[in-house]
Amino acid sequence: MLSSTPRTRHRRIKENGRTDPADLFAVLAAGQVAHLGVIVDGHPMVVPTVYGYDRERIFLHGSVASRSLLTGPAEVCVTVTVLDGLVLARSVFEHGVNYRSAMIYGVPEPVTGPDDLRYGLRLLSEHLAPGQWDYARGPSGKELAATRLLAVPLTEASVKISDGHPEDGDGPDAALGLWAGRLPVVATWGTPVADPLLPAGIEPPAHITARVGTPVSGGE
């Protein structure tokens, strides 16, 4: 639904791999926030949430979705989108964006039990902040009991990648003599900002400082 160029590749993965799941995992690896769509009281609701994943499931914090699931199992849609840049054409009509997006459809299952919760939370944590799971204090039994986590199978997913140039470079609008091209988004991790309550002399660990200046999502 993002306006995009015809170079858009649309790949649908159903029942474990009718097409290459590598496309799906590339998008999941690049994104940070998923948008979870559920139906609440008959209306759609789209909630941003962090996520983690393994080869078979995407894991999400689940309070809102849990509420919507009180009435029984129901399909959700989980969409992860990375914006890579703008496509600036000679005509307004051909403008668009380059992006990578994955839509996952499935019935979420609550993750329960300390071992499974720990497994899923670790995936969430390590996806966003690799190294933190082993560095920080792990969750206590009480904390695990207070955690709502959902898993959605990755068996049905649709991947779209748009990475094209403007489409009107060989049409009549080329004669307008206007500049056309792409304006990339460059997203990197910034300099760590210490908690104001942190005592002097405690430096950020190497797994954090090593990320500074590196791409958040791969970018263009």
Question: Which of these segments, 9-17, 20-28, 59-67, 108-116, binds a copy of itself (CB under 8 A)?
Answer: 59-67
Interaction residues for a copy of itself, span 189-208 (CB under 8 A)? 189-199, 202-205, 208
Q: Check binding of 70 to a copy of itself (CB under 8 A).
A: no
From candidates 14, 54, 71, 93, binder to a copy of itself by CB under 8 A = 93
Interaction residues for a copy of itself, span 14-43 (CB under 8 A)? 32-33, 35-39, 43
- What single-letter amino acid sits at 38? V
Distance of CA 144 to CAs 73, 122, 151, Å? 23, 12, 16
Closest to a copy of itself by CB, 23 vs 49, is: 49
How far apart are CB 216 and a copy of itself at their closest, in Å?
6
166-174: long-range contacts (C-beta < 8 A, 24 or more apart)? 166/5, 166/87, 166/88, 166/89, 166/90, 166/94, 167/5, 167/6, 167/89, 167/94, 168/89, 168/90, 168/91, 168/94, 169/90, 173/89, 173/90, 173/91, 173/94, 174/90
Q: Check binding of 92 to a copy of itself (CB under 8 A).
A: yes
Interaction residues for a copy of itself, span 119-138 (CB under 8 A)? 121, 125, 128-129, 132-133, 135-138
From candidates 22, 29, 145, 178, binder to a copy of itself by CB under 8 A = 178
- Return the bridge partners of 104, or none: 78, 157
